Amino acid sequence: MTFNDLGLNKLLLKAIAEQGYEKPTPIQEQAIPVILQRKDVLAGAQTGTGKTAGFTLPMLELLLRSKQQDSKHHVKALVLTPTRELASQVQDNIYNYAKHTPYKSTVIFGGVKINPQIVALRKGIDIVVATPGRLLDHISQKTINLSKVDFLILDEADRMLDMGFVNDIKKIMEVLPKERQTLLFSATYSEDIKKLSNKFLKSPTLIEVARANTSSETVAQAIYHVDKTRKRELLTQLINEGEWKMVLVFTRTKHGANRLSEQLATDGITSAAIHGNKSQNARTKALEDFKKGKVRVLVATDIAARGIDIDHLPHVVNYELPNVSEDYVHRIGRTGRAGNKGEAISLVCVDEDDFLASIEKLIKKDIPKVWLKGFKPDPSIKAEPINMGGNRGARNKPRGGQSRNGGGGARSSAGRGRR
């Protein structure tokens, strides 16, 4: 099947061709025809499957068919995402696919001044990509009118729930028209996702292109057992001996990300860190430097990395295993995208054995174990409780007690610091 077989407008086909795509991915092949029938959709897909185009293309096609091209450019479609980075990524995709259509789009998120967003909205916008917190700021200030929204897309809904946005989503739903088409995309199916779907979707069509909570088959996974105090030494050796030019490294905490990035610099390895305490400009620059090869290593926390979309990222390293098993799947999904091969290595100390057991139970497979010469763990070292450093707590922690930036501290006013 090609995109021509999906019945898309020639303006969209031209944009698709300019992006260098010829055939739709499985999620696009399944979702686009269903969405074009104006049905609600509950879609499950791993990262890197092309899901953004899977909802963007049919959304634009339906707008073109309805000929909603008035001069006011009122908001017809709303895409909600959990993080700034993902919001920017989605906006870039929409801009590229809509370039030959009359539709205008913009992105709004916290951490930056709100006035330029207000100016953009006043000029007239058809499609808005937003994070929940900043969107509520605009709603409360009456700087956005959502009364004519025909399409609502909840992208990476599982992460929005994990970040404690469920109440914000409910508030946003209250101001949207009841008659609309709603699409929900999630990497995993939890009970909370099912509840959200039952509440806001009407007889949705279920689309799933990968088994829930499975790790990508294009990613070679390995566990390197090592003492905690020697992880940095092992990471440096792997990077240097493997001549890795581009590697994404995950830590559990923001402080850990900063510290590791600084330590790698002292080892002669160019590195940058991204996390919720970094300004939006700093995060954007770090990501751009990484993509351009100016830095070899990008050290990130889970929330900050969710929007990273790099088709040819060859290496992911879990410097510390996540305490939430599903996050392991999201982490390694950063590599092995778009059919490319990838490698995911986890540096595991004795303190993380329980985390590893939970991950292997979730993905229903034993990850190959490696004991590298010179780094064999000291058997006399006993496991100690892990300090989460104020980041996301255990899965059974009440979500209402989590702050939006993944750490402690009160919710700030006017959306500052929001994702």
Domains by residue range for the chain, with CATH: 3-208 (3.40.50.300), 219-370 (3.40.50.300)
Answer yes or no: are the C-beta atoms of 290 and 246 closer than 8 Å: yes
Angle among Cα 145, 150, 152 to the nearest 5 degrees reads 85
Angle among Cα 148, 150, 146 to the nearest 5 degrees reads 35
C-alpha 232/C-alpha 228 separation (Å) is 8
Residue type at position 213: N
The encoded tokens of residue 149 equal: 């929204």
What's the Rg (C-alpha) of the chain? 22
In the block, residue with structure tokens 């860190």: 273
Mean pLDDT by 10 residues, the chain (419 residues): 90 91 88 96 78 94 77 86 87 93 94 93 95 96 95 92 89 95 87 86 86 63 95 95 94 93 94 85 86 93 71 90 84 76 93 92 89 90 71 36 32 34
C-alpha 36/C-alpha 55 separation (Å) is 10
DSSP label of 85: H
Give whole-number Cα distances, 128 to 22, 103, 417, in Å.
27, 11, 20
**pLDDT score at 216:** 60
**Among 287, 300, 298, CA closest to 330:** 300
Answer yes or no: are the C-beta atoms of 43 and 185 closer than 8 Å: yes
**pLDDT score at 402:** 31
Residue 373 burial class via C-beta count within 10 angstroms: exposed 0-12, middle 13-18, buried 19 and up: exposed
H runs (alpha helix) in 201-311: 231-242, 254-266, 280-291, 302-305
C-alpha 320/C-alpha 252 separation (Å) is 6
| pTM > 0.75: yes or no | no
Residue-wise DSSP of 214-234: ---TTEEEEEEE--GGGHHHH
Answer yes or no: are the C-beta atoms of 378 and 260 closer than 8 Å: no
**Sheet harboring 297-300: ordered strands across?**
271-274, 297-300, 247-250, 315-318, 342-348, 219-225, 369-370
| Torsion sign, CA atoms 316, 42, 89, 284 | negative
Pairing of β 369-370 and β 219-225? parallel
C-alpha 148/C-alpha 132 separation (Å) is 18
C-alpha 286/C-alpha 246 separation (Å) is 13
Cβ count within 10 A of residue 53: 24
Give whole-number Cα distances, 38 to 32, 76, 200, in Å.
10, 14, 15
